[in-house]
Amino acid sequence: MGFTSVFRATLCMCAVSAGPIFAQEIADTIYNGGTILTIDDARPTAEAVAVKDGIIIGIGSNAEMLAHQGEGTDIFDLDGRTMLPGFIDSHGHTVMGGLQALSANLLAPPDGPNSDVAAIQASLRDWKANNQAIIDSVNLIVGFGYDESQLAEQRPPNRYELDAVSEDVPIIIVHQSGHFGVANSLALEMAGIGPSSTPPPGGIIRFDADGQPNGVLEENAFFAVLVLLLGDIGEEGFKTFARAGSELWASYGYTTGQEGRSSALIVETLKEVAAEGGIPIDVVAYPDVLVDRDYIAANVSMDYDNGVRVGGAKLTIDGSPQGFTALRDRPYYDPVGDYAPGYAGYASASMDQTRDAISWAYENDIQILTHANGEGASDMLIAAIGAAQAEHGQKPTRPVLIHGQFLREDQVDSYQQLGVFPSLFPMHTFYWGDWHRDHTVGPINGENISPTGWVRQRGMMFGTHHDAPVAFPNSMRVLDATVTRRTRSGDILGPSQRVDVTTALKAMTIWPAWQHFEETRKGSIEVGKIADFVILSDDPTAVDPETLDQLTVLSTIKDDRVIYEAAEGIREGSLRTSPFISNPIVAHQFLHVIYQGMEVEQPWYPQLLTRFR
């Protein structure tokens, strides 16, 4: 896609000013006629931008940029709308976002109709009636997005309630967090799960009062069963997911996506689809460090191959904060469910695994992204990074904290001292802010979930993410939640943790570009950088912050080519239009399919390893 990294780097080094590189150079495209927010502190706004061969060659006044106009120059009239650098995914799962097309929408309002178990059953029945071809192909009914915190029953459905939808086809439904699921009786039988089953490390199989599995599976137990049931999808299915997921990201203005806990299979699938011209955006992949170290070491690179590269490794220490599986340093405030007194969650990776993985990354100069939601998980990560730096030195590998929902202020200090980049999840304030306030951490600590304010008080950069398919990769919802921290009920959770719009935009552009070692070529509109842009319906710095979530993405431009244009797009066609343009994908959420290659004597693991190793 575009020029090689070497040539791009050369252009970046030539960019000694904000003016044209060559005064008489003729542009392929000149963007003007609207507000241009550069996310460059030296020149925050501009009237026009000139681009040649996918690289920005000039930024300035309209008159200055029109000096680059030639016979073949395309004038892209913004028509009063606002252009920014393309959004960069600080953490998400691009390929697995494509699985949405195979799932029933089980989300609660405002993203779906499911407010009780009966509504979930109805949604599954409707999907079953309308998707028989998919069911015949994969022999599976899949739903995504149930969330007991939003259900009238305040509990997940059970196997018997799913059996009422179908006893003849296996069913698996996925919690919105992506860390739990519920299987019907046939799916449990196919996975070999019964009264005597033992869960894998870092996972739980729930049982009812009669000692039978009730269908609910947590963490590693769930991941293994899901991947086993999805085994019939095959290579072409995963290619479909890769195409659909990357197009979905583009529809929300992302020009760089992330596959934030992948496998060798997923990366190779991405590369195949990209080689076929099927990936409209850049994608950086981070395979699981507990499974694919040899593959990571052999493939990690700063250079894209048709828009795909392996950026480093991913480690997952704990689970879901809203699902009470994140590892805390104290008991949960008021957990809903059958929990023993003093319950504080649990780790999905041991301390030995954590230390070993972090040490390996430092020893091999490989960037590592670590999922740590609870304070207990952050304690583990901080200790492991400290030990690795004591042994190998504080290397410039830019380790990343993923999520950090529940953080103590002293842990923010530790991450700053260790040079850890926090990729935070402020969308939780909207989706689960009320739940965190009332049940997970309580009203006092709930104010400080996703503590962007603490981070900025220390002068730290941070990224914001959606973790899609856990939530839609809705860039404007990310922006809104970071600025307002307004919950579903209308409460403002932690007003002192709010940041201004410009800061929130940096956390979606230039700072995640730095996170990915791409700040010299992406993340802001500057001479020498790649022409990756997003065009919004209005200027986010000029509207009422309470209306940020109402802004829409009208166009997404990658390497000076339009890869997405909304139905209400700002112009008819383009001289450089990509084949990826489509209306917004109407889809719902799905789990990031991941696997743990642990040697556990349960029926699903040998099949899992055989199929996905």
Q: Which amino acid is at 159?
A: R
Predicted confidence (pLDDT) per residue in 403-444, tens digit: 999 999 999 999 999 999 999 999 999 999 999 999 999 999
Collect contacts of 560-566 with beta carbons under 8 A, ≥24 apart.
560/28, 560/29, 560/51, 560/53, 560/54, 560/531, 561/54, 563/250, 563/255, 563/280, 563/281, 564/247, 564/250, 564/251, 564/253, 564/280, 566/251
Average pLDDT over residues 483-508: 97
pLDDT value for 550? 96
Phi, psi of 409 (to 5 degrees): -65, -35
pLDDT in the model for residue 203: 87
Pairing of strands 45-52, 141-146: unpaired
Using alpha carbons, select from 592, 476, 595 the residue that is nearest to residue 97.
592
Q: Is 262 helix (H, G, I), strand (E, B) or coil?
A: strand
- Give residue-wise pLDDT tens across range 444-491: 999 999 999 999 999 999 999 999 878 889 999 999 999 999 999 999
Pairing of strands 213-218, 254-262: unpaired
The type of residue at 408 is: R
Which residues have a Cβ under 8 Å from the Cβ of 319 and sit 6 or more positions away? 177, 179, 218, 219, 325, 326, 327, 345, 346, 348, 373
Task: Write out pLDDT tens, residues 516-541.
Answer: 999 999 999 999 999 999 999 999 99
Which domains can be identified in the chain, with CATH numbers?
Answer: 88-284+583-613 (3.10.310.70)
pLDDT band at 578 (very low <50, low <70, confident <90, very high): low
Helical (H) or strand (E) element with 274: helix 264-275
Residues 6+ apart with CB under 8 A from 269: 95, 235, 238, 239, 242
**pLDDT tens per residue across span 159-203:** 999 999 999 999 999 888 777 899 999 999 999 999 999 888 888
Q: Is the pTM of this model over 0.95?
A: no
pLDDT given at position 102: 64
pLDDT at 54 over 50: yes
Q: Alpha-carbon distance 177 to 248, whole Å?
A: 19
Q: What is the pLDDT of residues 378-397, one digit of tens each?
A: 999 999 999 999 999 999 99
173: nearest Cα among 257, 112, 93: 112
Which pair of structure tokens corresponds to residue 234? 């095959």
Q: DSSP of 128-175, one letter per residue?
A: HHH-HHHHHHHS-EEEEEE-GGGSTTSS---HHHHHTT-SSS-EEEEE
Q: Alpha helix (H) ranges present in 346-497?
A: 351-363, 375-392, 409-418, 427-431, 433-435, 442-445, 452-457, 475-484
Contact assessment for residue 429 and residue 485, using Cβ atoms and an 8 Å cutoff: yes
Q: Say whether pLDDT at 606 is over 90.
A: no
Per residue in 217-264, pLDDT (tens digit) is 998 888 888 878 876 666 777 888 899 899 999 999 999 999 999 999
Query: pLDDT confidence of 51, banded at 50, 70, 90?
Result: very high
609, pLDDT greater than 50? no
CA 150 to chain CA centroid, Å, is: 22
Top-confidence residue, 134 or 54:
54
Q: Which pLDDT tens digit goes with each residue over 267-291?
A: 999 999 999 999 999 999 999 999 9
What's the pLDDT at 301?
Answer: 98
Picking from 448, 477, 466, 464, the residue whose alpha carbon sits closest to that of residue 551 is 477
Task: Write down the pLDDT at residue 134.
Answer: 76
**Mean pLDDT of all residues belonging to the chain:** 88
- 574: pLDDT strictly greater than 80: no
- 3-class DSSP state for residue 214? strand
Q: What is the pLDDT of residue 94?
A: 93
Range list of H helices, 419-515: 427-431, 433-435, 442-445, 452-457, 475-484, 501-506, 510-515
Q: Would you say 330 and 350 are in contact if contact means Cβ atoms under 8 Å apart?
A: no
Round to the nearest angstrom and report the end-to-end CA distance of the chain.
Answer: 30
Interatomic CA distance for residues 449 and 431, integer angstroms: 12
Q: For the chain, how big is the Rg over CA atoms in Å?
A: 24
Cβ contact 215:188 at 8 Å: yes
Report d(CA 116, CA 156) in Å as an integer.
9
- Among the residue ranges 94-108, 302-316, 522-536, the one predicted with the least confidence is 94-108
